[in-house]
């Protein structure tokens, strides 16, 4: 037992020296094989040094006379257990390498998370900047038309909707997430302005169940889909059409759907995959990975964009 305690103490005292050698000669980079050979030599050297420390000490403990302290007796004192000493050196090496691997993985994950955050904020900023001039140009033209036609009440109501919409953009700031209730309010303001522009050609329907109002979703997740529904659907039909926005909960999933009639000249073409849809796919992938998806399809003369993502309220999975 005394010998094993001595072995533990010795290697504990040698650990700082081993770590210094690892820092000085890391087992990585272009010289890793040379450094590995140096560490192998170090393991043998440290093990021999332990024998040179242990054997004389044992001579003193067991009161071996100086005349009997011969080479043969020293070799006899070297037991098979001394074979594990080089392994103990590499146990320290292995522990150090594992800690470094863990630190590198953590640093990489943090860097990737920051990059995803920056990318998400950048894309959201681009989306917000795209919404502002688009609404301002179309809405002010529509207001001017209403004023020229003497429809002042409708013009005032439209200005109020435009003000509400831009207030929501400003209040949203750089927040990456918000409640589904706020997203529906934004979509309602947008569609209200578009109804004034298109008149009877555009009908809208929004359905948000009470149990989905507090669900957390990416900011402006509905905006590209609703804008596409108007721009590429009802606006490109002589008879116009209905834009329908719905939400529902399916167990632990939240399902959002935006439906619009197919454009007259595109009824035989496959579903589009424009910039708005690509942006939605990318934002879902960044935020939820494989747990969320955006699916588009043609169904009964309708173009349907469906978003599926985890149902979360106030940051907690439910």
Token pair, residue 227, equals: 């804008």
Task: Please state the rounded mean pLDDT for residues 115-142.
Answer: 58
Q: Is the pLDDT of residue 286 over 80?
A: no
- Answer yes or no: is pLDDT of 74 > 60: no
* CA atoms of 238 and 6, how far apart (whole Å): 93
Q: Return the pLDDT at 267.
A: 46
Asked whether 180 and 208 are in contact (CB, 8 A), the reply is yes
Q: How confident is the model at residue 259 (pLDDT cuts 50, 70, 90)?
A: very high
The highest-confidence range among 87-91, 151-155, 276-280, by mean pLDDT, is 87-91
* Least trusted range by pLDDT, from 44-58, 118-132, 196-210, 268-282: 118-132
Which residue would you say has higher pLDDT here, 174 or 45? Answer: 45
Average pLDDT estimate for 303-308: 91
Selection from 101-105, 172-176, 201-205, 285-289 with the highest mean pLDDT: 201-205
The pLDDT, as a whole number, for residue 212 is 92
User: pLDDT exceeding 70 applies to what percent of the chain?
Assistant: 72
CA atoms of 8 and 84, how far apart (whole Å): 12
> Is it the case that residue 141 has pLDDT exceeding 70?
yes
**Per-residue pLDDT tens digits for 103-128:** 888 877 776 666 566 555 555 555 55
Find how far residue 92's CA is from the centre of its chain. Answer: 35
CA separation for the pair 39, 146 (Å, rounded): 84
Average pLDDT for 28-57:
81
State the SS3 of the chain.
CHHHHHHHHHHHHHHHHHHHHHHHCCCCCCCHHHHHHHHHHHHHHHHHHHHHHHHHHHHHHCCCCHHHCCHHHHHHHCCHHHHHHHHHHHHHHHHHHHHHHHHHHHHHHHHHHHHHHHHHHHHHHHHHHHHHHHHHHHHHHHHHHHHHCCCHHHHHHHHHHHHHHHHHHHHHCCCCEEEHHHHHHHHHHHHHHHHHHHHHHEEEEEECCHHHCCEEEECCCCHHHHHHHHHCCHHHCCCCEEEEEEEEEECCEEEEEEEEECCHHHCCCCCCCCHHHHHHHHHHHHHHHHHCEEEEEEECCEEEEEEEEECEECCEEC
**pLDDT of 272:** 46
Sheet of 253-261: strands edge to edge? 202-207, 241-250, 253-261, 302-310, 293-299
- For the chain, give the longest Cα–Cα distance: 124
* Percent of the chain topping pLDDT 90: 13
Take residue 48 and report the two structure tokens written for it: 């021999």
| pLDDT, position 270 | 45
| Model confidence at 176: pLDDT above 60 | yes
Average pLDDT over the chain reads 77
The CA-CA-CA angle for residues 182, 271, 215, to 5°, reads 20
- State pLDDT tens for residues 210-247: 999 999 988 888 888 888 888 888 778 878 889 999 99
User: What is the per-residue pLDDT across 29-39, written as a single tens digit (0 to 9) for each?
Assistant: 788 888 888 88
| Most confident option among 17-26, 80-89, 90-99, 248-257 | 248-257
């Amino acid at each position: 037992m005394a010998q094993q305690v001595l072995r533990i103490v010795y290697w504990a005292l040698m650990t700082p020296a081993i770590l210094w050698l690892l820092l000085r000669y890391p087992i990585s980079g272009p010289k890793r094989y040379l450094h590995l050979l140096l560490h192998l030599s170090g393991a043998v050297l440290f093990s021999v040094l332990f024998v040179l420390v242990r054997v004389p000490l044992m001579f003193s403990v067991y009161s071996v006379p100086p005349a009997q302290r011969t080479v043969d007796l020293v070799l006899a004192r070297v037991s098979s257990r001394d074979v594990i000493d080089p392994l103990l050196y590499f146990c320290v090496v292995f522990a150090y390498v594992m800690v470094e691997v863990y630190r590198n993985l953590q640093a990489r994950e943090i860097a990737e998370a920051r990059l995803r955050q920056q990318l998400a904020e950048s894309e959201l900023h681009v989306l917000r900047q795209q919404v502002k001039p688009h609404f301002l140009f179309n809405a002010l033209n529509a207001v001017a038309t209403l004023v020229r036609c003497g429809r002042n009440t409708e013009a005032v109501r439209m200005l109020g909707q435009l003000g509400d919409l831009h207030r929501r953009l400003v209040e949203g700031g750089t927040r990456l997430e918000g409640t589904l209730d706020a997203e529906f309010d934004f979509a309602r303001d947008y569609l209200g302005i578009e109804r004034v522009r298109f008149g009877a050609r555009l009908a809208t329907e929004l359905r948000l169940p009470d149990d989905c109002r507090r669900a957390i979703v990416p900011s402006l997740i509905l905006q590209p889909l609703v804008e596409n529904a108007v721009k590429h659907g009802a606006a490109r039909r002589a008879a116009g059409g209905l834009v329908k926005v719905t939400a529902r909960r399916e167990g632990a999933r939240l399902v959002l759907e935006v439906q619009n009639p197919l454009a007259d000249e595109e009824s035989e073409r496959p579903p589009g995959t424009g910039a708005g849809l690509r942006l939605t796919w990318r934002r879902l992938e960044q935020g939820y990975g494989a747990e969320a998806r955006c699916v588009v399809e043609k169904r009964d003369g309708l173009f349907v964009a469906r978003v599926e993502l985890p149902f979360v309220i106030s940051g907690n999975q439910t």
